[in-house]
Chains A and B, each alone.
Chain A
C-alpha cells in the first residue's frame, strides 16, 4: 500500500534556528500515527510543511501521492494547533463556509453541517454566534470543520490540549471512529496516555531530528525494561518499618534478580540475564513473607520512552507531571 505521507531529507530553518533537520518519515495509508516530541521540537513546523502552509528549505515531500498538499487540500482534514472560529459568525454558516472552501457544494455543505452538529449534540447551537459557545463546544465545531468533507488524511495538531476529561474521551472516540472508516490519521500530542491508547505507530522528533519511528509493539519490545514490580501485602507504617528490611534482603539474594530498587509501595526488581520472567514471578509470589498485593512484569510506557529519549539526547530535564496533567500542557487552547 502506498504511503499517505512521505518525507525525505526535509530541512527548515528560521533565521539561525534549525526547526527541522534532515527529517525522513513515512506514514502508511490507513495508519493512526502519533507524533510526539517536547515543546519546540518542530512538530508544528513539520505539520505546516506537510500542509504546504510553509515551505521547506530543502528535501522532498509527498502527500497523498501529490508533490504538495495544495494539490490535494480538499482530501486533507487539518485541525491546527492555532485554531479558532469567526467570533461573530453563526455556527451553521461558519461550518458551511468551511465545508464549501473544502470543495463541497452548497447543499451538501449545509446538510452535512447539520448532521454533524446533531451527532455532536450541538443541534441547538446552529443559530448561535460562535463566540457564545463554550470552549469545549468550539473545539467540537473545529473538529467538525476538519472532517466534514470526509478527507482521506486527517492531521490533528495538539488535538487534546485544553479539553476536559469528558471531551478528551469524546475526542478519542471520534479519532477511533475516523480511523475505523479507513482514514489515515496523524496527530501530534503531549498526552502520552492518549498516544498510547490510540496509535498503532509513533514517531518522535526532538530538536528537529527524528529520534523514534516505530509501531507501538516494536517500541514496547525494544524498550522492554525487564523489570518486575512487587508490592508486598503488609504495607502499614509499622509493617514497612518492621518487615520490609526482611523482604528486601530476601529479594536481593533471590536467584534470577539482578538488582533491587525500593520505592514508595514496594520494589522494582531487575530480571537477570537468562531468567524467565513468568517463572520468576511465580517463585517470588510464593517466597515473599506475608504474601503480595501486586506483582507484575512492568510494561514500557511511552512516557518513559519519551523522557529517556529527551534526556539521553539533551540531558534536558523533563517534568513528568507535565505529561500527565492536561492543564500543564504547552499552551492553553487558543479559543
Chain B
C-alpha cells in the first residue's frame, strides 16, 4: 500500500469510527423513519372519541329532516371513510403508490369503530336556545367511553331567515339570508365541529334550492367538475407532471451533495488543525512528503463524504423503489452526480486543507472559513429559483462558476426540464480545471503552513504563500 493510501486509510477510519460521527450520520435517517411510521399512528390514536347528542332547533322546519340523517354516527363514519379513500386516491394520482399494508387496513378498521358516536335530537321549533344550551355545560367530551351517550355536546340554531329570504329591512339594503348558530362544548374535537358545520351548510343550501323548486342533486351536478391531471406535452410524448417530485428530487440531490461535501470538508479541517496543534505534523512529515500527506488526507475524507452520500442516496433510491417511483431516476443522473461530487469535494477539501494547515486552532479557522461558508450558502438560496427555471440566464451563468457550479448543475440535471447538452461537459471541464488549480494552490499553502506556528495568516498572506516557492 502506498504511503498516500495509508494516510487516507487512517484518516477515514479515525473519522468514521467515532461515536459522534456514527450518531450524527445514522441518527437523522433513523429519526426520519421513526417519524414517518410512528407519527401517523400516534395521530390516529390521538383522535378523541366523541360521544353524545347534537340538538337542533330548526325554526324553518325545512332542514331538520336532512340533518336527522347526516348528523348521526353512521353518517359521520361514512364521511370519514370517504375522506380517507379520497386522500389515498390523491396520493396515488400524485404518482405515489402506497403499498397495500395490512397494518394500514387494520388501522382503518379500528378508526371506523372508534369514530364519533353521535345522535341527533330535533327540538321543537319554538324551543328557547338560552335554555337548551344549558345541558352543554355539563358535557364531558374528552372522557370517551365513560361519557354518557345522552350528553349534549352541540346545539344548532337555524333561524327562519337562513332558509327563506327575509324581507329587506330598509329600501337601500340588499336582501340577505340570516346566519345560523353553532354552539358547542369546549374541547369538542375540531373535526367533529367542522363536520357539523359543513353538514348544516349543506342542508341549508339544499333546503333553499328545494324551496326555489330546484333539484339539489341536479344543481350540484351542474356546478362541479371532476379534477383532472395536467398533461405536459413534450416531443417525447405526453406525461403527467408531478410538481412535488419534480421539485423535491433536484433539492434532494443538491442537499445530499451539499451535506456530504460539507461534512467531509469540515472533517478535513478538524483533523488538519488537530495534527498541527498536537504537533504530530512534523513527525508525520519525517515519513511522508507534505503532498502525500495532503492528498492522503483529502482522499480519506472523500471516502467519508462518499460513504455518507451513498448511505443517504441508497436509502433515497430504496424509498423511490418502495413507492414504485424509480422511473424518476435517470441512471445518467447518478453518474453526473458522482462526477460533480468529486469536483465539489476536491474544491472544498483543498480550501479546508489550506485553511487547516495555516491556523493554530479551530477558532482561528472560523475567521478564514467565513467567506467559504458565505459562498456555500449560495446554492441553498438559489435552489428554488434554479429548479423553477433551470434554463434561466441566472442558472446558466452559475453553472460555470466554481465552487457553486456542481450544485447548480445537479439541481438542473435532476429537474424535469432538458438543459443544453454542451453545458454538461463544459461545466465539468471548468470544474476539473479549477479543482486542479485549487489543489495546487492548497499544496503550496499546506507545505508552508503546516510548520508555521504563531500569528495566523490572513487571506493576503495565504495568497503570498501561493506565489512563493
Contact = CB atoms under 8 A, between A and B. Distances in A.
The yes or no verdict on A and B being binding partners is yes
Interface of A: 48, 51-55, 70, 73-74, 76-89, 97-98, 100-102, 142, 145-146, 334-335
Given A55-B469, A82-B451, A98 B287 contact: yes
B282 A88 contact: no
Given A54-B451, A55-B469, A97-B10, A84 B278 contact: yes
Contact of A83 (B1, B282, B288, B290): B282
B438 interface: no
Contact of B278 (A54, A86, A98): A86
Given A86-B280, A87-B278, A101-B3, A78 B451 contact: no
B282 A80 contact: yes
A100 B6 contact: yes
Interface string B389-406: 000000000000000000
Given A97-B6, A100-B6, A145 B14 contact: no
B286 to A, nearest CB: 4
B289 interface: yes
A148 to B, nearest CB: 11
Contacts of A145: 283
Contact of B286 (A73, A87, A335): A73
Interface string B270-313: 00001100111111111111100000000000000000000000
A87 B275 CA distance: 9
A142 B283 contact: yes
Count chain A CB atoms within 10 A of each CB in B283, B286, B288 and give the residue with the most.
Answer: B286
B6 A101 contact: yes
Interface residues of B, number: 24
Given A53-B451, A54-B451, A82 B282 contact: yes
Contacts of A78: 283, 286
Contacts of B288: 73, 101
Nearest to B9: A97
A84 B280 contact: yes
A151 to B, nearest CB: 10
Interface string B255-281: 000000000000000000011001111
B451 A48 contact: yes
A102 B287 contact: yes
Contact of A53 (B10, B280, B285): B285
26 contacts: A48-B451, A51-B286, A53-B285, A73-B287, A73-B288, A76-B286, A78-B283, A82-B451, A83-B280, A83-B283, A84-B278, A84-B279, A84-B280, A85-B283, A86-B278, A87-B278, A89-B14, A97-B6, A97-B10, A98-B283, A98-B287, A100-B1, A101-B7, A142-B283, A334-B279, A335-B279
Contacts of A51: 285-286
Contacts of A53: 282, 285-286, 290, 451
Nearest to A48: B451
Contacts of A334: 279
Contacts of A142: 283
A105 to B, nearest CB: 9
A238 B79 CA distance: 121
B150 to A, nearest CB: 70
Nearest to B296: A101
A145 B288 CA distance: 14
The 3 A-B residue pairs with the shortest CB-CB distance in the complex, in nearest-first order: A84-B279, A78-B286, A80-B282
A86 B281 CA distance: 10
A90 to B, nearest CB: 11
A46 to B, nearest CB: 14
Nearest to B280: A84
Given A97-B6, A101-B6, 18 more contacts: A51-B286, A73-B287, A73-B288, A78-B283, A79-B286, A81-B282, A82-B281, A82-B453, A83-B279, A83-B282, A84-B283, A87-B274, A89-B14, A97-B10, A101-B3, A101-B284, A101-B287, A102-B287
A70 B279 contact: no
A81 B284 CA distance: 13
A32 to B, nearest CB: 20
A121 B14 CA distance: 27
A80 B279 CA distance: 9
Nearest to A54: B451
Contacts of A73: 286-288
Contacts of A52: 289
B448 to A, nearest CB: 8
Nearest to A142: B283
A101 B284 CA distance: 8
A334 B453 CA distance: 12
Contacts of A55: 469
Given A48-B451, A53-B451, A80 B286 contact: yes
A80 B278 CA distance: 13
Nearest to A88: B14
A47 to B, nearest CB: 10
A82 B279 contact: yes
A82 B278 CA distance: 9
B280 A85 contact: yes
B464 to A, nearest CB: 10
Interface string B111-152: 000000000000000000000000000000000000000000
Contacts of B451: 48, 53-54, 82
Nearest to A335: B279
Nearest to B283: A83
Contacts of A146: 286
A100 B285 CA distance: 14
Contacts of B284: 101
Contacts of B286: 51, 53, 73, 76-80, 146
Nearest to B284: A101
Nearest to A73: B287
A78 B10 CA distance: 21
B285 to A, nearest CB: 5
B457 to A, nearest CB: 13
Nearest to B279: A84
Contacts of A54: 451
A137 to B, nearest CB: 15
Nearest to A87: B278
A6 to B, nearest CB: 20
A142 B3 CA distance: 19
Contacts of B290: 53
Interface in B1-28: 1, 3, 6-7, 10, 14
Contacts of B453: 82
Contacts of A87: 274, 278
A335 B284 CA distance: 15
Interface in B405-428: none
A335 B289 CA distance: 23
A224 B338 CA distance: 74
A108 to B, nearest CB: 14
